[in-house]
Chain A
């Protein structure tokens, strides 16, 4: 049976033979390419340079230095100690960040607004919330590397500067995302509790927390994983831990030591990922 346009049931409109959205999509595609091209030129995007003979030779020598990974007992003991210190820096940093972020998030979130129960939010609460958001923006805009450099001058080399840098930056990030997670929860239970006269923190504990707990936890664990990576980077500016070891190994061109440390690092992040998945499942 031929199903062609115009040969269907008597009186039925013929089937369209082109997709009406295609013209617009094609135009957007061409416009994006036209806009992207100057960006690629400006960033000197020439990946084929990595494949010429000289670059390949250099790459091969560099990668060759990584294998085999160093497995001497004394070195592994040192790596274990430094890994533990890195995890400690990250955990302490995120713990301080949570202490900073929790009150900021509770103040900034509109989910606990009492004045907006009956209409628009009143002016003073609105200004307070905006000021808190501005504070969180300020905290998280400065990269932790810059904070770490400042703190290294103030408190000297060592883990303290790393912890403080992570605490400040991550406090701003956690605060913003926590406030938005609370706003994305179903507001009905919380608003009813507030309308019946309970306090804001009570409404948070009984109305928002039951819904938001898995999201808040999984984001906090994700940030802890990011903090482990950050503390490795901060080690390069003197904050101790695995990063400082990696920095000295790179400077000595001991690629096999760097390889071991990278493998340990990957294992650590995978562990954090597993922990997060388990916690999320058990909170459900």
Chain B
């Protein structure tokens, strides 16, 4: 794997060799509904007839109040959750009509970063980051890499723009929450994926680090023609950084427009039950008495 510095000072990382075409993965949701089997009857569905079309190498952000369905949307797009109604097309194929083997190859072209960093506590950072490359490695290579990391330079290059390169050989449980989140994002930079689905990637980071991490992710996604879908609740940062914004509320799409055309009125309506005033940057509190959405299997 070659690592080359570019003029911007951000180390470019060449993706590992895959046989998939080198274009961003496109996602299409057609009237997708998801209702959890354990949900109460009067609760709104997790996703309610969502229609969405994401082109290859597009970058967009999903905003909405807690419980709106942002995580569910990302899981459906990652073929990690099955819709109760409607269908999902990833690069024109329905993942649930594929054989398990081909579905696994499709999943190898996705990268999903959950809200809580999926890192085993006793693992070292270098192994945790290199785990992002597992779908492209054979079993023998991955076991060898476990005994002695085979590509320390690549892990270092992935952590450097996220300012964690000096923690390469530390254990994950010695890191703070924000640092663990950045390790989880560093995996994306090494994964052989054509789409990145990031669930609240900046929630544990301070504003300066958050802005820098987002810039790194956007630049890398653009340079490598990777589709980028981010769910976040920092509305102002979302509007400033992404060309397309989708507002989700109670499982349904409230608006889907370019960032410049999102009106304060639309944002107010999105967060209508906020306990605090109409500043869309605040995280609104949940209204007591409303039927609560069922806790997700994925955190």
Binding site for B on A (CB under 8 A): 114-115, 117-119, 186, 188-189, 191-199, 201-203, 205-207, 210-211, 213, 284
Contact = CB atoms under 8 A, between A and B. Distances in A.
B83 to A, nearest CB: 10
Contacts of B146: 205-206
A114 B118 contact: no
Contacts of A206: 120, 123, 127, 131, 134, 142, 146
Given A192-B112, A199-B134, A118 B105 contact: no
A284 B137 CA distance: 28
Contact of B82 (A119, A197, A202, A205): A119
Interface stretch (B73-81, B158-166, B253-261, B276-284): B73-81
Given A193-B131, A198-B131, 18 more contacts: A115-B100, A188-B116, A189-B118, A193-B134, A196-B111, A196-B191, A197-B105, A197-B107, A199-B104, A199-B139, A201-B139, A202-B142, A205-B142, A205-B146, A206-B142, A210-B120, A210-B121, A211-B122
B108 interface: yes
A196 B114 contact: no
B298 interface: yes
Given A118-B81, A195-B78, A196-B135, A189 B120 contact: yes
Contacts of B134: 193, 196-199, 202-203, 206
A202 B112 contact: no
Interface in B117-141: 118-123, 127, 131-132, 134-135, 137, 139
A117 B118 CA distance: 15
B227 to A, nearest CB: 15
A118 B82 contact: yes
A191 to B, nearest CB: 7
B229 to A, nearest CB: 15
A196 B120 contact: no
Contacts of B118: 188-189, 191-193, 207
Q: Is the interface of A mostly helix, strand, loop or mixed?
A: helix
Contact of A118 (B80, B104, B114, B132): B80
Contacts of A191: 118, 298
Contacts of A201: 139
Given A115-B100, A191-B298, A196-B111, A207 B120 contact: yes
B69 to A, nearest CB: 16
Contacts of A202: 134, 137, 139, 142
A191 B191 CA distance: 16
A194 B146 CA distance: 17
B252 to A, nearest CB: 22
Contacts, number: 88
B17 interface: no
Contact of A189 (B79, B81, B111, B119): B119
Nearest to B83: A118
A115 B99 CA distance: 11
Given A188-B118, A195-B107, A197-B104, A117 B80 contact: yes
B143 interface: yes
A118 B79 contact: yes
6 contacts: A117-B80, A198-B135, A201-B139, A202-B142, A206-B146, A210-B120
A171 B135 CA distance: 32
A189 B143 CA distance: 17
B151 to A, nearest CB: 14
B135 A197 contact: yes
A18 B82 CA distance: 54
Nearest 3 pairs of A and B residues by beta carbon: A197-B108, A192-B118, A197-B107
A102 to B, nearest CB: 14
A196 B136 CA distance: 11
> Which of B81, B134, B298 has the most A CB atoms < 10 Å from its CB?
B134
B110 interface: yes
Given A202-B137, A206-B134, A192 B114 contact: yes
B193 interface: yes
Contacts of A207: 118, 120, 131
A200 to B, nearest CB: 10
A196 B122 contact: no
Nearest to B96: A118
A43 B114 CA distance: 58
Nearest to A114: B100
B66 to A, nearest CB: 20
B74 to A, nearest CB: 11
Given A196-B193, A210-B123, A205 B110 contact: no
A194 B78 CA distance: 12
B299 interface: yes
Contacts of A210: 120-123
